[in-house]
Structures are given as C-alpha cells and as structure tokens.
Structure 1
Amino acid sequence: MMFKPIRSLELRLTLLVTGCAAMVLCAVAFMTYLGINHILIAQQDRALVERIERLEILLQDSSNIEQIIARPKLYQNMLGNQDNLFLLIQGDQILININPLGIPLPEFTHQPQIQFQDLSAHTYPTRIAWKTIQINQQPYVLIAGKQWSERLAIISPFQKRLFIYVFTGILAIFILCAIASRLGLNALRTLREQTHAINIHKLEQRLNLVHPPQEIEQLASDINAMLDRIEMGYSQLNRFSEDIAHEFRTPLNNLIGQTEILLMNERSPAQYQELLISNLEDYQRLKRMIDSMLFLARADAHKVCLNKQKIQLKSFIEDIFSIFEYQAEEQHCNFVLRLEATELLADPELLQQALYNLISNALIHGGNHRTIYVLSRRKIINNMQMITLSVITSGLEVAPEHLPHLFERFYQCSSSRQSPHQTGGLGLSIVASILTLHQGMYQAVNSAEGICFELLFPDV
C-alpha cells in the first residue's frame, strides 16, 4: 500500500517541528528516568555500604562474632524486613545465613573493596554487596543484600507519570505548532489569494503584502518582476500581432485592388504583364517579412546554430559594399571603410545579414548624397574586451525619443508604410537578435557625423 505524500506546507511544518520536539522530549525523559534510577541505586548502594561497614565493626569483636554465629536469629531480628539478606562465609563454610527468600547466590571473589551485583534471575530481584574482611587473621566474606522493591515502588509510578507528561507535552506542542504555522503562513495565503486574482485582463495588478516575512517578501518581489516581464511580453505580442496584420494587409490590399481593377474590363497582354510585375514586388515583400519572422522565432527559441569563424573584416565588408554598388551610384552615395580592428570572431552568414540590414537601412532612410561610414575599433566595456562595428550615415539624425525603440519589431519612426522599400520594421530587430546570439550588445546613437548603429562583439 502506497501512502500519498503530505502536500500541505502547514501540516508539514507542524509535523516536522512536533517530531523534532517529541524526540527532544523523549530524550530528556529517558535521561531523567536514567538519572532518577541511578540516584536510587546510589542511595541503595550507600545503605548496603553502611550496613557492611557497621557489620564489619561489629564482627571485629571476637565475642560478637561468636554470639552472632551462635544466635543468627538475633541479627535477623535486627535486620527486620524479609527483603534483607546477610551472609558470613569463611572458606566453604557459611557461618551466618540470613536469606529468608532463598535468593540463589553467585560465586564470590575475594576482594578487599566492596563489590556490587544485581541478581535479577530470581522472583525477587535483589542487589547485593560483598567484601572480604580479616577477623583474627582469617578471611571472611561478608555479604549484604536488599531487594529492588523499594526502588521499583518509586521508579514505576514515576515512569508512568513521565510517560503521561511526555505525551501531554507532545500534544501541546502539536497544537501550538499548528496555531503558529497557521499564523506564520498567513502571508503565504494572502500571496496566493492576490496571485489567484491576477488574470489576462488584470496583468497590471501587482502583489502587495503588509509586513510579510523576508522570504515571502522576496517571493512576492520575484513574482512581481515576473508579472512585469509577462505584461511587457504580452503587450509586445499584441503590438506585434497588430503590426503584422497591418503589414500583411497593405500588400494584400494592393494585390486585391489592382487585380479587381484589371479584371473589370478587357486588358491587353502588356497590361496583364505589368500587373504581374507589380504584384511580384508585393509577393517579394511578403516573403521577406515571413522569412524575417521565421528567423526571429528561431532566434528567440535558441534554434539558430552559430558557426563562428575568424573573419577578415576588410574583404568581408568590401564584398557587402559591392552588393549595394549600383544602388549607391543611383543615390550618389559613397562608402568609407575605417578599420582599427581587422579580425572578428563571428558567424559569417549572420554577420553579413546584420551589416546588410544596416547598410540597406542607411541607403533607404538616408536618401541621396550621403556618405556611409563603416568603422571598427576595440573597446573595454565592464572589464570586457569588445570589438565594435559602427555603421554611420552622414548628416542624418533620429529624434532622441525614437532611439531606444529602433530595434523593436515593426517599430518605425514614420507612420507611413507605403514605401516600396519597406521591410516591415524587422530589419533592425534581426540585427538585435544576431547580436544577442553572439552574446554581444547593440545601440543607436546620434554622433557628430550622423546617426550611428553600433554592434559590439566579444573579443575572444
């Protein structure tokens, strides 16, 4: 039969404290019992020692020993109770044998000091003491004994009362622990009630406890921090859903509207071809957004595997410049490359995508007649050696209130979404995810030359 574990913290604490207290009480009771028993045995031993010493003094007188041997009943009457025992042995001869209960005696060794022994095999357990004494230069063994009856008469009621006291004490501790646990865990119940009241429509609500214990206060603080992250994530998810719906709706509306207009009347093959070319741009835009969202989802789930390699930055960045050569000529823009650090450890494909997005962003939003600088240098940030790649668009600034949000998904400084070059506001989000995968940092700042996007990679 399997027992289910106790799941109530209140009951667990009560049983744990009660169990510990019960063990302490039982240990104290046991030690007390042993102490009282030891005291009673010591008192009984002192009485036997005093009896043997008195008898030894009495027997040292030769006339006394002859009288006691001749009239043993005399000393038996002196002893009184039947539980007393007295023997005097010389060699194999028992000179005095006062043993009314017939207690069987063991073999005695000749010792000048008083020896003690318990005789518990008999119906009447007895404690005896013996000593070898010299009378008229002859060895005699003097034996005295007394039953345990007096000691048991004291210790047995005490043992019963001690059991009652221990049981009552354990019961009282259990009740007090149950009350203390209930009062002590009141803050935890309040925490549970407040947590239970938080739902999807009350994500702004936070836990607020009055003078809680330190552990509960720390737990409430951690839960509030978790709620902050959940609320922020939920808000971002809502905004992401709205933005993605809007981003998808724009090209889809274009596709539907142009197709409906074209189908209203008979058109020439050239007009159909023109429509298909126009629709292809919207299809490509939708594909870019879907690819970007898939990459971001994989990056968030840490499913993007890095293939870090030593990259020679000069040839690597020049290859990227060549991709934008014709677009830069059309816009009368030029590229400037300044490299203080010439090597970088990173994933080549992801680094190419990050720089591609930044340079493309600079050409799209910078307009004509701009200079795009790509710089590299070493920095020490928080005692860490970093390599910084900066993409600067000359003569262009971004309002300070937009800078902290530029790397957010679908964030756009302008409300217009009609540019054919728009990527839906995911380009910089992809850059941020790539830097996060590399355990690096990123930021956008306004510099003297223009808007600067910095990518910071660990120099390892």
Structure 2
Amino acid sequence: MKGRWRKSITLRLTLLFASISSVVFLLLGILIGNSVERHFEVQDTEILTGKLELARNELSKVRSEEELVNTLRQLDNALVGHQGLAVIILMPGSQIGYATEGADFPKRILEPAPSTETLRPVRWVTGANTPYRGLATSIRTAIDGGKQIYAVAAIDISYHEHFMDLFRRTMWSFVTLAAALTGFLGWVAVRSGMAPLHSLRRQAENITAHRLNARLEVEAIPAELQALADTLNAMLTRLEDSFRRLSDFSSDLAHELRTPISNLLTQSQVTLSKPRTAEEYQEILASNIEEYERLSRMVTDMLFLAKADDGQIIPTKETLELKRLVEDLVEFYRLIAEDKDIALSYDGDAIIRGDSLMVRRAVSNLLSNAIRHAPAGGHVTIRIASTDSSFASLSVENSGPTIPPEHLPRLFDRFYRADPSRHRLSDGAGLGLAITRSIARAHGGSVSVRSENGITVFELRFPTEERWSVES
C-alpha cells in the first residue's frame, strides 16, 4: 500500500501543488511582514529622530552649566505630547541630567560613544515586559569649547508588536488553509486531468487475446496523449497480425505433421496386422524413411526460421559472383526442367557480399519453386542486374497461371500455398519462400513477387560489395 501511494502520480502532483503554494504564500507573507515591520521601524525612527533633533537644537546653544540646567528643565515641556516616549540625557561622567518618569533603558544603550554622533537604533524589552525601540546620539554643547552630553530617546512599540503577532498568526493560518485548499484543488485538477488515462486503462482491460481487433478511442483524449494512444493502437495492430500468423502457423504445422505421422502410424499398423516377407518389410521401411526424411527437413527448416526470427542468423561476408552461383544451380536443375519440357535460361552478372550457402539456398528455393509451377512447354528465366551502386537484383521468372493478387502478400508466410489442391502433389512443406525471405533480410536485402498475364516473377535484392565497403 505504501509503495503504491509512493508511486501515485495523483499524490505526487497534489503534494507538489500544496508544497509550491505553501512556499509561495510563506515567502509572500514573510516579505509583507518584513515590509510592515520595516515601516514601523522607519516610523518610530522618524519620531525619535525628531525628538533628538529638538533636544540637539536646544542643547547645542548652551554656553554654561547654569544655562544647561535651565535648558534641561525647559526640555521636559518640549518633549511632552507623545505617549510612550522616554528620554534620558547623560552628562559627562554618565551622570543623569534629565530623565522622563519611568524611563528604563538597558545598559548597552546608555554607554556613550563620544567619537560619533551617529544615531543607533536599539530594540529591548523592559523588566515590565514592555518592548521599546530607542536611538542614542552625542550632542556637542558650547560649554568649555565643546563639552558633549549623551541623549537617548525611546518609544513604546507594544502596539506594533501586538499587530505583528496578530499578523504572523493570521499569516500562518492563511498559509495552512491555502496549502490544504490548494492541495484539494490540485487533487481535483489532477483527477480530472488523469481521467483520459483511466479511460484508456478501462479500454485496455477489455482487450484480450480474443478481442485484439479492438482499438483505443483517440478522438476524445487530449493532444498530449494522442501519440501514446496511436502507439498503443499500432502495437495492437502488430500483435493482432502476429497472433493471427501464430494461430495460422500452429494450425498449418499441426496439419503438416498430422499427415506423415498418420501415414507412418497407419502403415505400421497394417504391416503388423499379419506376417510379411522380408522384401515387404524392406519396402515398408523404405516408405517410412521417406516420411521421416520429410519430417526431418520440416523440423530443420523450422529451426532455421526460428533462429532467423530471433536474429541468430548472422551471414558471413564473402565476395560472391551471382552468375557463377546461378550457373551451378541451373546445371543442377537442368535435368528436372528437361523432364518437364521447361526451357531454363539465365543472363546478367553482379557481385555481392554474403554467405554463399545461404544465398545459394535462397536462389535454389526460388528456382525449384518456379520449375515446380511452370507448365510443360513453359520457361524459367533468371536475370541478374545491378539496380544501383548499393543493391543487386536477381529475379526468377516463370510462365504459368497468374497468382491472384490477394495471395501475393501471403506467399512468404510459413506453410502458405496459393493453391491448396496442389498440397500433396509437392514434396515441399511450404517453408521455402519463408526461408528465402529470412535469408534476404539477414543480408540486409529483400524479396518481392509480382504476377500478371501468365508471368510470375520473384525478385531478390542483396547489398553489393560497394555498399558493404561503405558501411564497414
């Protein structure tokens, strides 16, 4: 449960919204609080500066001790009128020359600094727990060539402190409430924003192996999820095609294996039904060997295709002359072609880089397939050409019935036959063209087919030696 919440996008975004809003409101509150407090400090400083300037104007004119005593008495009347104001004037030697009633100043502000007249704002709390803000300054009189006295003025800031305490409590309450509200609104917004994802999830839950034709609805989802939905739909299309091919392959494989196994089983049962001569047993075993050879070829071909699908077929890079390779194959199939009264010819040349055994097998599959389907009196022609500096083509053309267009895309599927009625008339297992395509792809090439007007052409394309040199 903890791990699920930790990975929840909704929870993360909600906490992110709440955290960001809390930080923003907190910084804003601190900024406003500092500004207000600075305003109060400036306001208090202006009042205190005015009082000290008043005292400075009066005391700086004093020329004798008697005049100083009189001025200090008059100063009390001048400073009256501001509530919470406290003033103390220290004579040389730290003697108190004047102090308002109830004045309570800390020791640190009562220590004169004769060398400077700079105002020094100080904040303190009295023994009665009353906050004050004060300023101190030195005043030069005209007594004895410039005798200095020390003046300190302070003001009660209880009202300001109370206001700031109330402001801070209000600010923290507002930040807490704003964080909670923003978190809730963020959760609502995220839930609303995540609704299309939940919709996609519900649609995906309904897609099973039996309903791979279903697709995700992309019309009602946001543009940000459009690419994801399109990708998933493309994946479903590939899966549907793969499942269909796998299902067809399984059915075809079972059908292909059932016939020879059934023949072997039936023939063995019939053989054992009564005693037979040694010659009869030899004939039966020879017939069984033919079926076993067919099964062995089928298994070998299937293993080759399985390796090709897993990318385990890695061809060697030999320099191959296609003309010489085709000459050997034509010589091998010439007797078969002559028996069927088929004209066999070739022309052209090209040099490629590839695995000689694999390329020979691919061309042999196309050539045997062409001879098998060409009618008596027909022809099979092999043409070799360099289409450009990168690829060479080898096409195998045969006369015969035109293959319907709907069959052409599936001719390279395993066990697929355009004419099922000829299934038992052929020694092949329906894997030759599939193997040819795998070999072409393993070499970085391709294979294609076209059929029209009684002519069928299979074309192989292989990279030339120049292309291999550039890529290496």
The answer to whether the superposition gives a TM-score over 0.5 is: yes
Query: SS at 1:115's partner residue?
Result: coil
Residue-by-residue CA offset, 1:285-315 (whole Å, 9 max, x unaligned): 2111111111111211222233233323233
- The Cα shift of 1:187 comes to 1.9
1:74 equivalent in alignment to 2:82: no
Residue-by-residue CA offset, 1:132-191 (whole Å, 9 max, x unaligned): 554436264543333543431221111111111111111111111122222222222222
User: Aligned partners of 2:267, 2:70: CA distance in 1, in Å?
Assistant: 142
User: Aligned partners of 1:444, 1:363: CA distance in 2, in Å?
Assistant: 16
**Residues 122 and 135, structure 2, Cα contact 8 Å, conserved in 1:** no
What residue in structure 2 maps to residue 138 of structure 1? 146
* 2:173 counterpart letter in structure 1: I
* 1:399 counterpart letter in structure 2: P
1:29 equivalent in alignment to 2:13: no
Match of 1:442 among 421, 436, 447: 447
1:251 equivalent in alignment to 2:260: yes
**Residues 333 and 368, structure 1, Cα contact 8 Å, conserved in 2:** yes
**Residues 445 and 453, structure 1, Cα contact 8 Å, conserved in 2:** yes
Query: SS at 2:421's partner residue?
Result: coil
* 2:51 counterpart letter in structure 1: R
- The Cα shift of 1:399 comes to 2.4
- Structure-2 change in CA distance of 1:337 and 1:68 (3 Å): farther
The RMSD of aligned alpha carbons is 3.2
**Residues 141 and 147, structure 2, Cα contact 8 Å, conserved in 1:** yes
**Structure 1 runs not aligned, ≥5 long:** none
* 1:165 counterpart letter in structure 2: F
- Structure-2 change in CA distance of 1:210 and 1:4 (3 Å): closer
Residue-by-residue CA offset, 1:351-394 (whole Å, 9 max, x unaligned): 222112111211222244444333333336xxx93332222224
Query: SS at 1:101's partner residue?
Result: coil
1:101 equivalent in alignment to 2:109: no
User: Aligned partners of 2:370, 2:147: CA distance in 1, in Å?
Assistant: 122
Match of 1:357 among 334, 350, 365: 365
Query: SS at 2:122's partner residue?
Result: strand
Q: Report the number of matched residues.
A: 454
* 1:160 counterpart letter in structure 2: R
What residue in structure 1 maps to residue 165 of structure 2? 156
User: Aligned partners of 2:414, 2:408: CA distance in 1, in Å?
Assistant: 13
What residue in structure 1 maps to residue 381 of structure 2? 373
User: Aligned partners of 2:217, 2:324: CA distance in 1, in Å?
Assistant: 58
Match of 1:117 among 121, 129, 153: 121
What residue in structure 2 maps to residue 84 of structure 1? 86
User: Aligned partners of 1:201, 1:389: CA distance in 2, in Å?
Assistant: 42
**Residues 439 and 457, structure 1, Cα contact 8 Å, conserved in 2:** yes
**Residues 187 and 209, structure 1, Cα contact 8 Å, conserved in 2:** no
What residue in structure 1 maps to residue 406 of structure 2? 401
User: Aligned partners of 2:87, 2:325: CA distance in 1, in Å?
Assistant: 113
* 1:102 counterpart letter in structure 2: F
What residue in structure 1 maps to residue 14 of structure 2? 14
- Structure-2 change in CA distance of 1:145 and 1:206 (3 Å): same
* 1:116 counterpart letter in structure 2: R
- Structure-2 change in CA distance of 1:395 and 1:417 (3 Å): closer
- Structure-2 change in CA distance of 1:371 and 1:209 (3 Å): closer
Match of 1:311 among 305, 308, 320: 320
User: Aligned partners of 2:48, 2:160: CA distance in 1, in Å?
Assistant: 14
Query: SS at 1:71's partner residue?
Result: helix
**Structure 2 runs not aligned, ≥5 long:** none
* 2:372 counterpart letter in structure 1: I
- Structure-2 change in CA distance of 1:45 and 1:321 (3 Å): farther
- Structure-2 change in CA distance of 1:419 and 1:47 (3 Å): same
Residue-by-residue CA offset, 1:316-347 (whole Å, 9 max, x unaligned): 3333334434323433445433335x221223
Match of 2:135 among 129, 132, 136: 129
Residue-by-residue CA offset, 1:87-146 (whole Å, 9 max, x unaligned): 35558766545582131125526445x433334587665433344554436264543333
Identity of aligned residues (%): 28
User: Aligned partners of 2:184, 2:352: CA distance in 1, in Å?
Assistant: 69
Alignment of 1:187-226 (within 5 A): 187-208=196-217, 211-226=220-235
Normalising by structure 1, report the TM-score.
Answer: 0.86
Residue-by-residue CA offset, 1:212-246 (whole Å, 9 max, x unaligned): 22233333332222222222211111111111111
- Structure-2 change in CA distance of 1:377 and 1:278 (3 Å): same
Alignment of 1:408-427 (within 5 A): 408-419=413-424, 421-427=426-432
1:392 equivalent in alignment to 2:397: yes
- Structure-2 change in CA distance of 1:252 and 1:68 (3 Å): farther
**Residues 17 and 186, structure 2, Cα contact 8 Å, conserved in 1:** yes
Residue-by-residue CA offset, 1:261-293 (whole Å, 9 max, x unaligned): 444454443333233222222222211111111
**Residues 59 and 141, structure 2, Cα contact 8 Å, conserved in 1:** yes
Query: SS at 1:216's partner residue?
Result: helix
**Residues 82 and 100, structure 1, Cα contact 8 Å, conserved in 2:** no
